Structure 1
């Protein structure tokens, strides 16, 4: 599982949640030449103390890219949070990686990445995938499914209102924890070869009805699932104060769950991390405090 333990490995966005976890996993698994890239090196002195080399890497500052990538053999690009700009940001680092002699890129993408105008945030991931493939480098594209942590964002509202709104025809989402995706990315950086696209999923799809039932079991509250249309969900999110563009992206994600794109289940987490993915019910139990339980 660790053919490239002694290769020079760089993780971008290492001060972010996923990037930091990936660096920690690489170090824990014995990687000897780990570089943590970040816009603010002062935030990663604890990782330096653990053995990582810290390099300044700013996607918006091209002058930092070639310096950060010097000597790097394998690169993990953690997709940035600059929605609307990240395709261009990521194109820049792909080009810099090729110029620097990087051999393999691992990229954290999204399920069913495609260029469709109504695909929410997916077009940016799609065009990044295209740029990686066109680079001629070997790659492992990891299409991370919905983070289990995301359900905690609206859990308070669901529990206080006793209602969980979702689209008609929901076929389930294979929620995966951020820690599992980070371990998977680290494992791919240590072992993957060739050119592959992989879906990174939890162990089973969870429907809105099942999610409401689990919330109820943990809190003792009754949660009703209200199935509505995309237009109704969009209007409700905007009325709740979300920007229209962001609301549209969330609805696009739920439309993909209706289509079945998010119900895919693979063994990718176990194959690259060496452990089975966390069950959604176990994740919720471990985060009962966030549910007020």
Structure 2
């Protein structure tokens, strides 16, 4: 499980929640040469104090290859710059190749496609294409929707008694951020060749089942209300969501309706050595957030 722990491993976006978790997992698994990459090294002073090398890594930097110097294996965490990510991440892939990186682990999304109107899916698709075209070995981790995202609409759903969606009753394999980060660290330590993996929770959960969980742990009735994609988008915009964000969220629901989110795999256990947390256990653990 840790055959590459003595190679030089770099995690991009290490100042974010996912990146920090991945770095901590690498250290816990005995990795001896961990580099934490971030746009703001001052945020990682505590890791530097623990012996982790901290480097400035900015995907917009024309000299990005210098930040990857001496790196054997790279965890490329998708940035949060929606609309700019393809250029940023292509720059990172090209820089990794120029620097002599041997293997890229990339955090992608379920069934990425170049389709117009696909939300963030095209950005992941074109990044995957760039990685494949680089000639480097790679592990593409198609992370399914975070369990944490299920909590974002909980207060309004519980307050109104209604949970709206356009998933056509199909399930989602919610997976916790911690499970995906541990999986990415495990892949960085052990994956070989050129492979693609869906990273999922243990079961596909429908929005009706999610509404039932909200009801169970809040003590208030919550009903799932199915809408069309256009109805959902109109409701989100009317509620104050920026149109771009509404488009992204509705695209997720359309993908779920098409069955892309209902895949269940053993990838988390394969790379992390732990079974993924079930959504019911996650909601129970975070019940205080339901009415926050």
Aligned to 1:30: 30
- Shift in Å at residue 61 of structure 1? 1.8
> Structure 1, unaligned stretches of length 5 or more?
none
Partner of 1:100: 99
Instruction: Return the TM-score normalized by structure 2.
Output: 0.98
- TM alignment of 1:26-175, pairs within 5 A: 26-63=26-63, 65-167=64-166, 169-175=168-174
Answer whether contact 2:167 2:253 (CA < 8 A) is retained.
Answer: no
1:191 alignment partner in structure 2: 190
Q: Does 2:14 align with 1:14?
A: yes
Matched residue of 2:60: which SS? coil
Cα distance, 1:168 vs. partner? 5.6
Q: Give the 4+ runs in structure 1 shifted more than 3 A.
A: none
Does 1:229 find its partner at 2:235? no
The answer as to whether partners of 2:142 and 2:199 remain within 8 angstroms in 1 is yes
RMSD (CA atoms):
1.0
Cross-structure match for 1:211: 210
Give the deviation of 1:119 after TM superposition.
1.3
Q: Distance in 2 between matches of 1:162 and 1:201?
A: 28
Q: In structure 2, what is the Cα distance between the partners aligned to 1:109 and 1:51?
A: 29
1:249-278 CA distance string (max 9 Å, x none):
111100111111000000000000000000
Report the Cα offset of residue 4 of structure 1.
0.1
Q: Is the 8 A contact 2:169 2:257 kept in 1?
A: yes
Spell out, residue by residue over 1:44-67, the C-alpha distance to the aligned partner (whole angstroms, 9 max, x if none). 01112223110001112222x122
Give how far 1:118 is off.
2.1
TM-score (norm 1): 0.98
Q: How many residues align?
A: 292
Q: Determine the C-alpha separation between the residues in 2 that align with 1:163 and 1:24.
A: 38
* SS in structure 2 of the partner of residue 261 of structure 1: coil
Distance 1:246 1:271 in 2: 33
Q: Would the aligned equivalents of 1:166 and 1:228 in 2 still touch at CA under 8 Å?
A: yes
8 Å contact 1:106–1:140 — kept in the other structure?
yes
How far does the alpha carbon of each residue in 1:106-150 deviate from its partner, in whole angstroms, 9 at most, with x for none? Answer: 000000101000211100000000000000000000000000001
Distance 1:145 1:50 in 2: 32
Q: Equivalents in 2 of 1:150, 1:62: separation in Å?
A: 34
**Residue 271 (structure 2) pairs with residue 268 (structure 1):** no
Matched residues in 1 for 2:90 and 2:62: separation?
11
**Match in the other structure for 1:220:** 219
Q: Is the 8 A contact 1:234 1:251 kept in 2?
A: yes
Gaps of 5+ in 2: none
The residue that corresponds to 1:250 in the other structure is 249
